[in-house]
Structure 1
């Protein structure tokens, strides 16, 4: 059975209601829209938790329209509610800022981290025959940035930061058509954010030769994002590692979840991660070292697991 077939079967199983006679611990896992990479990750996690706990914990997936919705629901969801979000959004909710202005709730202060999942990784993709190998080379080229997504916002920010805001031609093409547009010469390159290996970058690499543009350490520092290296060989024709930036994404719960459930969820996630990586390479980028980068409090149950394993923690973890 292929990975995508497993996803379809496991996703269906995760959504089937359980008999009221069962004694499993039930957890709601709210991630992203169906068909997205993060929903697919949720299906994998649901399958892994069920297998790793012998069915003692069952995750039920819920589709989401995005991280803001996930965080907002943390204020009203009881019990075992798990959701995914960049930590920055949780901090904004707790401070009542930006999209959470006027929507503050003391329940936001009860949000606690469990474990990291694959990061949103910035990809700057150029058609190989353009000869472009760095950001400066994008001047005068036609670039697809997209709209309405983290990648689009971040990509536009980088063009501005690095002096290219009015020096590239922004393509009016949907990001979903990036591979075809690159192949037929409609665009010279595109910007996307996703866990590597990103499906749309794989598609582009299969259709035509590509180059991933690296960021220098100075450029990465300017972005104020986390440095991440895409390993050599991640994409066809990519024979060297590529330094870029990423936005951490975390699986969160709240203090309404009991410590034992949080412990078992966290332990099982790490125990099963290698098996998940055999099916989907994006899990290979998740390491215990990422726990130290979690900027907020970690759930006491998860904290117990990390302490047992001697995993380094951030200053705010407790």
Structure 2
């Protein structure tokens, strides 16, 4: 994915009179991605929020499947981020985990949600596109190989647009300039919002976002999400779209106090993180409804103390 994960190995200092220090290896996404940057921001927040008691070291990852696989073999306290569906698949030995089942997958426990991977259908403001039906005859850039590219191609077919839109043969990294130069009418991207490439396009060209109907959202079988009005320059109405939730998980090898501290510090520092990186503003306790599996007992302790409604299925 497009996506990202967190791994955490813990070392507690035991000398009398010395401050206990928790060492956490944060297994993230590929370097240079938004999810890797989130890892850096989270590391800074954990250090500040615990007065140096929790130290995260960000480690690059090749993706969420690798992150889940490592839950079966990493010693000590391990935290990782992944779409919840992959945890369910691992526990069932399905999908990318077919013939790779491991009882250790049953020991995976959730901590907290992080920004979701959000679908954006970005159009040049003067392209006159308000709905998916308006895409007919337009040239759009999907990119290649990513979650957003695959999902975008699926929606084009699902909503009756196959052979009615022209798919540009170019890399997604060129999307903003291609839009500005009128080589394309729009592009599809998936990322936590505000997505840097969408922000760039809004500032340099002027954009609109295609909003889905409730029926279209239901047809995709993805999680509904609203990009609030004002997230991008010139987009003054809410945009209904779909998303792939992403959650930070640990395993039962993590002690309850460490899980409690990580979870409490995340929520305590979230608003401050959102002041410098707006994608954190999209995270709320409501996203716990997307979690697959159970919460870590230490995380559950925090949510109960904070008065957060936790679905019975997560207890």
Return the alpha-carbon distance in structure 2 between the equivalents of residues 81 and 296 of structure 1: 16
Return the alpha-carbon distance in structure 1 between the equivalents of residues 246 and 121 of structure 2: 20
**Preserved CA contact (<8 Å) 2:260 2:301:** yes
The one-character-per-residue Cα deviations of 1:232-271 (angstroms, maximum 9, x if unpaired) are: 1110101111111111100111110000000000000000
Return the alpha-carbon distance in structure 1 between the equivalents of residues 216 and 119 of structure 2: 13
Question: What is the Cα deviation at residue 140 of structure 1?
Answer: 1.4
Tell me which of 102, 105, 110 is aligned to 2:107: 110
SS at match of 2:248: strand
Q: Which residue of 1 aligns with 2:8?
A: none
Q: State yes or no: 1:289 paired with 2:286.
A: yes
Question: What is the Cα deviation at residue 166 of structure 1?
Answer: 2.1
Return the alpha-carbon distance in structure 1 between the equivalents of residues 76 and 13 of structure 2: 19
Tell me which of 134, 138, 143 is aligned to 1:137: 134
Tell me which of 163, 178, 185 is aligned to 1:181: 178
Question: What is the Cα deviation at residue 148 of structure 1?
Answer: 1.1
Q: Which residue of 2 aligns with 1:12?
A: none
Instruction: Flag structure 2 segments of 5+ consecutive residues without an equivalent.
Output: 1-11
Q: Which residue of 1 aligns with 2:42?
A: 45
SS at match of 1:316: helix
Q: State yes or no: 1:306 paired with 2:300.
A: no
**Preserved CA contact (<8 Å) 1:293 1:313:** no
Return the alpha-carbon distance in structure 1 between the equivalents of residues 129 and 213 of structure 2: 15
Cα-Cα RMSD: 1.7
Q: State yes or no: 1:156 paired with 2:153.
A: yes
What TM-score does the superposition give when structure 1 sets the normalisation length? 0.92
Question: What is the Cα deviation at residue 23 of structure 1?
Answer: 4.2
SS at match of 1:233: coil
The number of aligned residues is 302
**Preserved CA contact (<8 Å) 1:144 1:173:** yes
Q: Which residue of 2 aligns with 1:6?
A: none
Question: What is the Cα deviation at residue 292 of structure 1?
Answer: 2.9
The one-character-per-residue Cα deviations of 1:196-222 (angstroms, maximum 9, x if unpaired) are: 100000111122111100001111111
**Preserved CA contact (<8 Å) 2:84 2:290:** no
Q: State yes or no: 1:219 paired with 2:216.
A: yes
Segment of structure 1 superposing worse, 110-119 or 202-211? 202-211
Instruction: Flag structure 1 segments of 5+ consecutive residues without an equivalent.
Output: 1-17
Return the alpha-carbon distance in structure 2 between the equivalents of residues 47 and 281 of structure 1: 16
Return the alpha-carbon distance in structure 2 between the equivalents of residues 28 and 298 of structure 1: 20
Tell me which of 231, 241, 245 is aligned to 1:244: 241
Segment of structure 1 superposing worse, 305-314 or 239-248? 305-314
What TM-score does the superposition give when structure 2 sets the normalisation length? 0.92
**Preserved CA contact (<8 Å) 1:28 1:80:** no
**Preserved CA contact (<8 Å) 1:29 1:42:** yes
SS at match of 1:35: coil
Q: Which residue of 1 aligns with 2:25?
A: 28
Return the alpha-carbon distance in structure 1 between the equivalents of residues 76 and 48 of structure 2: 22
SS at match of 2:164: coil
Question: What is the Cα deviation at residue 314 of structure 1?
Answer: 2.4
SS at match of 1:81: coil
Question: What is the Cα deviation at residue 160 of structure 1?
Answer: 1.4
**Preserved CA contact (<8 Å) 1:84 1:252:** yes
Runs of 4+ in structure 1 deviating by more than 3 angstroms, as ranges, are 18-23
Question: What is the Cα deviation at residue 19 of structure 1?
Answer: 11
**Preserved CA contact (<8 Å) 2:93 2:101:** yes
Q: Which residue of 2 aligns with 1:265?
A: 262
**Preserved CA contact (<8 Å) 2:64 2:81:** yes
